[in-house]
Amino acid sequence: MLKEQLFAKPITEIIKKRLSVRSYLSQPLSPEMKEALSRFFSILRGPFGGTVRVELIERDLALKELNAKLGTYGVISGASTYAVAVVEKADRDLEDFGYCLEKVILYAASIGLGTCWLGGTFKKSEFAKAIGQEDHEILPCITPIGYPSSRKSLIDFAMRYAAGSKNRKSWNELFFNGDFSHGLSEPEAGIYKTPLEMLRLAPSASNKQPWRIVKGTNQTHFYLQHTKGYAKMLAYDLQRVDMGIAMCHFELTAKELGIIGKWHISAPGNISTPQDTEYIVSWVEGI
C-alpha cells in the first residue's frame, strides 16, 4: 500500500484541529511562512481539472475591503495577510475551487496558521485587482491567513454561536449504505470509516453540511443536498464550494491510509435521490 502523506503531520490530526479563526495577532507572517505558502500555491489542480491561482495579499488593502464589502458576516479582527484565489470558469469550477483552497487551509493549519473561509462578492474589488482576475475567472471566496490570537473578539464568539460551528450532523444524517433509505454504520463503512469521519468534520458555509454520501460496493457516491433558497442569496453557490472541500478531506485521508481510487462522474441509475439532492461525483476504488 502506497501511503501518501501530503503534510508534515498526519491529515487526521490537522483536520481535527482546524477551526475557523476570526481573531488574529497583527504580527505579519514571517518571510519563511510566506515562502512556504507560495511554494504550496504553485501546485494546485482540482479533481475536475481546473487550476486555481492563489496569492497572498497584504493587510491594509485587505482590511479596507473587508469592512466595505463583507458587512456583518465576515468580521475578522487583526489579520495582516489574506489568501485570495481565482479559478477558471468551467463546469465544476466551484467544486475545484473548494478542493484547492481547502488544501491551502489544511496546509496552513499544519504549520500553525489560522484561516477562515469568507464568501462574498469580490467582483471588481481591490482583491480582484491585486490578483489580476481575468474575465474567464471567478473569485468566490478568500481567507485571512495568520497567527491566531488567544483572545477571541466578541464577534468571533457570536459568529461561532450563530452558525453552530462546533456541531456536526451525525453519521446517519450524512452517510448511507447502498441507497438513501439505509443509514451507513461505522462498521459498515469499513476502510472508509476514517475518510468519512474526516469529511464530516469539514467546514461548510453557515455550517450547513450539505454533503450526502452513498456507499456502494466499490464506489462511493457524493451528492449535494441544496439548502432551499441559500444559493439565491449569494453571488455564488457556496454549497458547491462545500462539496469540493468535502472531497478534499475525503481524498487526502483515503490516500494517507493507502486507499487507491479516483474521482469519476457517472451517476448510478438505480439510486433514487431525495428532494433538492443532486449527484456530483463518485470515488471509484482501485483504478
Instruction: Using CB under 6 A, pick the residue from 16, 38, 58, 73 that binds ligand FMN.
Output: 73
Restricting to residues 104-123, which ones interact with ligand FMN according to CB under 6 A?
116-119
Size of residue set near ligand FMN by CB under 6 A: 22
Question: Which among 37-45, 128-136, 238-246, 255-263 is the span making contact with ligand FMN, rule CB under 6 A?
Answer: 238-246
Q: Name every residue whose Cβ is closer than 8 Å to that of residue 75 and which is 6 or more positions away in sequence.
A: 22, 66, 153, 155, 156, 159
Q: Which residue has the cell 471567478?
A: 138
Would you count residue 61 as binding ligand FMN (CB under 6 A)? no
Question: E strands of the chain, at which residues?
Answer: 52-58, 81-88, 114-115, 118-119, 137-138, 141-146, 175-177, 211-215, 219-225, 261-264, 277-285
Q: How far is CA 216 from CA 197, 271, 276, in A?
A: 17, 10, 21
Give the closest residue to 171 by CA, choosing from 193, 153, 149, 191: 193
Question: Is 270 in contact with 253 (CB distance < 8 Å)?
Answer: no
Would you count residue 86 as binding ligand FMN (CB under 6 A)? no
Least gap, CB of 142 to ligand FMN (angstroms): 9
Would you count residue 238 as binding ligand FMN (CB under 6 A)? yes
Question: Is 207 in contact with 165 (CB distance < 8 Å)?
Answer: yes
Least gap, CB of 254 to ligand FMN (angstroms): 21
Restricting to residues 191-220, which ones interact with ligand FMN according to CB under 6 A?
203-207
Instruction: Using CB under 6 A, pick the residue from 66, 131, 141, 145 that binds ligand FMN.
Output: 141
Instruction: Using CB under 6 A, pick the residue from 165, 177, 273, 277 that binds ligand FMN.
Output: 165
Would you count residue 241 as binding ligand FMN (CB under 6 A)? yes
Least gap, CB of 270 to ligand FMN (angstroms): 31
The cell numbers describing 53, all together, are 491561482
Would you count residue 125 as binding ligand FMN (CB under 6 A)? no
Question: Which among 39-47, 237-245, 249-257, 273-281 is the span making contact with ligand FMN, rule CB under 6 A?
Answer: 237-245
Give the closest residue to 41 by CA, choosing from 86, 80, 76, 74: 86
Instruction: Using CB under 6 A, pick the residue from 36, 63, 158, 163 that binds ligand FMN.
Output: 163
Nearer CB in complex with ligand FMN: 7/230:
230
Q: How far apart are CA 263 and CA 29, in angstroms?
A: 35
Binding site for ligand FMN (CB under 6 A): 19-20, 22, 73-74, 116-119, 141, 159, 163, 165, 203-207, 238, 241-242, 245
